[in-house]
A and B are shown apart, each in its own frame.
Chain A
Amino acid sequence: MSLSKIKFDKKIILSFWIILIALIIAAPTILPVFRLNLLGRYLSLSIVALGVDLIWGYTGLLSLGQGIFFALGGYCAAMYLQITSSSEFPNNIPEFFALYGVEKLPFFWEPFRSPVFTFFSIWIIPAFVAGLIGFLVFRNRIKGVYFSILTQASLLVFFNFFNGQQKLINGTNGLKTDVTQLFGQMVGSESMQRTFFWITAILVIAAWFFAKWVVKGRFGNILIGIRDDEPRVRFTGYNPVIFKTIIFSIAGGLAGISGALYTVQSGIVSPQFMTVPFSIEMVIWVAVGGRGTLLGAILGAVFINYAKSLVSEALPASWMFIQGGLFILVVTALPEGVLGWIQGDGPRNLLQRFGLKRKIETYPSLEVNNKEGNNE
Chain B
Amino acid sequence: MNNKDLLNLIDITVSFEGFLALNKLNLNLKKGELRAVIGPNGAGKTTFLDVITGKVKPTNGEVIFKGKSLVGRKEHKIARLGVGRKFQSPRIFENLTVKENLEISVTTPKSPLNLINKSIKDEQLNEIDRLMKIVNLAQKVDSKAGSLSHGQKQWLEIAMLVGQKPDLMLVDEPVAGLTDEETDLTADLLKSLSGENTVVVIDHDMEFIRRLDSNVSVLNQGTVLCEGTMETIQKDKKVIDVYLGRPED
Asked if B87 contacts A238 (CB within 8 A), the reply is no
Q: Say which one of B20-28, B98-106, B176-184 lies at the interface with A.
A: B98-106
Residue A214, interface by CB 8 Å? yes
Smallest CB separation, B126 vs chain A (Å): 17
* Dominant secondary structure of chain A at its interface with chain B: helix
C-alpha spacing A370/B144, complex, angstroms:
29
B residues contacting the other copy or chain, number (CB 8 A): 30
C-alpha spacing A217/B164, complex, angstroms:
18
Residue A267, interface by CB 8 Å? no
Chain A 215-242, CB within 8 Å of chain B: the 1/0 string? 0011101101100110111111111101
A235-B75 contact given A218-B115, A225-B96, CB 8 Å threshold = yes
Residue B94, interface by CB 8 Å? yes
A236-B104 contact given A221-B93, A221-B96, A228-B94, CB 8 Å threshold = yes
C-alpha spacing A190/B160, complex, angstroms:
59
Chain B 90-119, CB within 8 Å of chain A: the 1/0 string? 011111100010011101001110011001
Q: Which residues of A sit under 8 angstroms from B107, Cβ to Cβ?
A: 218
Q: Which residues of A sit under 8 angstroms from B85, Cβ to Cβ?
A: 235
Smallest CB separation, B82 vs chain A (Å): 9
**Most chain B beta carbons < 10 A, residue from A224, A225, A231, A236:** A236
Point out the residue from A214, A224, A238 that lies within 8 Å of B76, measured CB to CB. A238
Chain B 153-165, CB within 8 Å of chain A: the 1/0 string? 0000000100010
Q: Return the chain A residue nearest B83 by Cβ.
A: A235
Residue B74, interface by CB 8 Å? yes
Asked if A229 contacts B76 (CB within 8 A), the reply is no
Point out the residue from B76, B84, B103 that lies within 8 Å of A239, measured CB to CB. B76
C-alpha spacing A59/B154, complex, angstroms:
25
C-alpha spacing A229/B85, complex, angstroms:
14
A228-B95 contact given A221-B103, A234-B75, A235-B79, CB 8 Å threshold = yes
C-alpha spacing A229/B101, complex, angstroms:
12
Smallest CB separation, A56 vs chain B (Å): 15
> Which B24-56 residues sit within 8 Å CB-CB of chain A?
53, 55
Smallest CB separation, B14 vs chain A (Å): 18
C-alpha spacing A237/B53, complex, angstroms:
11
A219-B53 contact given A235-B75, A235-B79, A239-B74, CB 8 Å threshold = no
Query: Interface range on chain A: under 10, 10 to 19, 20 to 34, or 35 or more?
Result: 20 to 34
Asked if A219 contacts B115 (CB within 8 A), the reply is yes
C-alpha spacing A179/B26, complex, angstroms:
76
Asked if B79 contacts A214 (CB within 8 A), the reply is no
Point out the residue from B79, B91, B104 that lies within 8 Å of A221, measured CB to CB. B104
A235-B53 contact given A221-B93, A221-B104, A228-B93, CB 8 Å threshold = yes
Point out the residue from B76, B87, B100, B103 that lies within 8 Å of A234, measured CB to CB. B76
A236-B103 contact given A214-B116, A219-B116, A224-B93, CB 8 Å threshold = no
Asked if A218 contacts B103 (CB within 8 A), the reply is yes
Asked if B112 contacts A242 (CB within 8 A), the reply is yes
C-alpha spacing A225/B102, complex, angstroms:
12
Q: Return the chain B residue nearest A227 by Cβ.
A: B95
Smallest CB separation, A195 vs chain B (Å): 33
Residue B1, interface by CB 8 Å? no
A217-B115 contact given A236-B164, A237-B164, CB 8 Å threshold = yes
Residue B120, interface by CB 8 Å? yes
Q: Which residues of A sit under 8 angstroms from B112, Cβ to Cβ?
A: 219, 222, 242-243, 246
C-alpha spacing A237/B84, complex, angstroms:
9
Residue B80, interface by CB 8 Å? yes
Q: Which residues of B sit under 8 angstroms from A234, Cβ to Cβ?
A: 74-76, 79
Q: Which residues of A sit under 8 angstroms from B94, Cβ to Cβ?
A: 228
Q: Return the chain B residue nearest A213 by Cβ.
A: B116
Q: Which residues of B sit under 8 angstroms from A237, Cβ to Cβ?
A: 76, 79-80, 110, 164
C-alpha spacing A232/B74, complex, angstroms:
13
Q: Which residues of A sit under 8 angstroms from B95, Cβ to Cβ?
A: 224, 228
Asked if B91 contacts A236 (CB within 8 A), the reply is no
Asked if A236 contacts B105 (CB within 8 A), the reply is yes
Smallest CB separation, B105 vs chain A (Å): 6
Asked if B53 contacts A224 (CB within 8 A), the reply is no
Chain A 199-219, CB within 8 Å of chain B: the 1/0 string? 000000000000000100111
Nearest 5 Cβ contacts at the A-B interface: A237-B79, A219-B115, A219-B116, A234-B75, A218-B115
With A231-B55, A232-B92, A238-B110 given, can you name 11 additional A-B contacts, CB distance below 8 Å? A218-B100, A218-B107, A219-B115, A219-B116, A222-B104, A225-B93, A228-B93, A235-B53, A237-B76, A239-B74, A239-B76
28 A–B contact pairs at CB < 8 A? A217-B115, A217-B116, A218-B120, A221-B93, A221-B100, A221-B104, A224-B96, A225-B96, A229-B91, A231-B75, A232-B93, A234-B74, A234-B75, A235-B53, A235-B75, A235-B84, A236-B76, A236-B79, A236-B104, A236-B160, A236-B164, A237-B76, A237-B79, A237-B80, A242-B111, A242-B112, A243-B112, A246-B112
Q: Measuring CB to CB, which residues of chain A are less than 8 angstroms from any residue of chain B?
A: 214, 217-219, 221-222, 224-225, 228-229, 231-240, 242-243, 246
